[in-house]
Amino acid sequence: MYRFKHRLAQLERRTGASQKMLLFLMDRIDRAVRLDSATIIAVLRECGYLPGPGLSAFLNFIGIPDELSPKDLEQYVRTHAGAICRSGGRDSSERTS
């Protein structure tokens, strides 16, 4: 994973993509109802789990249950944000829930 992140950072600097945030989303292909990724990203950003411009984040939506209401989805993301977004943002001692 280190080599991948390092190479990605090099490419971002060379292409000028370092001014934007790059998000990689991983989800199940068999999911019947698509998750509201905009809501999930907004909650992760609000909680400080997403890095700033010029950095990348890998978001793992695979473990999120299908049957959650929008309110329950938001609560689930707040509770499990560390597992969904393993990189970026504030120090873990500063994160909000």
- Is 63 in contact with 40 (CB distance < 8 Å)? no
- When mean pLDDT is compared across 26-35, 50-59, 64-73, 82-91, the lowest value belongs to 82-91
State pTM to two decimals: 0.63
Burial 7-34 (b: 16+ CB within 10 A, else e): eeeeebeeeeebeebbbeeeeeeeeeee
pLDDT per position as a tens digit, 3-61: 887 887 787 677 665 566 778 888 888 876 677 788 888 899 888 888 777 677 889 98
Q: What is the mean pLDDT of residues 59-64?
A: 89
Q: Record the tokens describing residue 24, joined without a space.
A: 């990689």
Task: Find where tokens 């789990």 sit.
Answer: 49
For the chain, which residues make up each domain, given as ranges? Answer: 20-94
pLDDT of residue 50: 84
pLDDT of residue 75: 93
For the chain, the helix, strand and coil percentages under 3-state DSSP, each to the nearest 5: 45, 10, 45
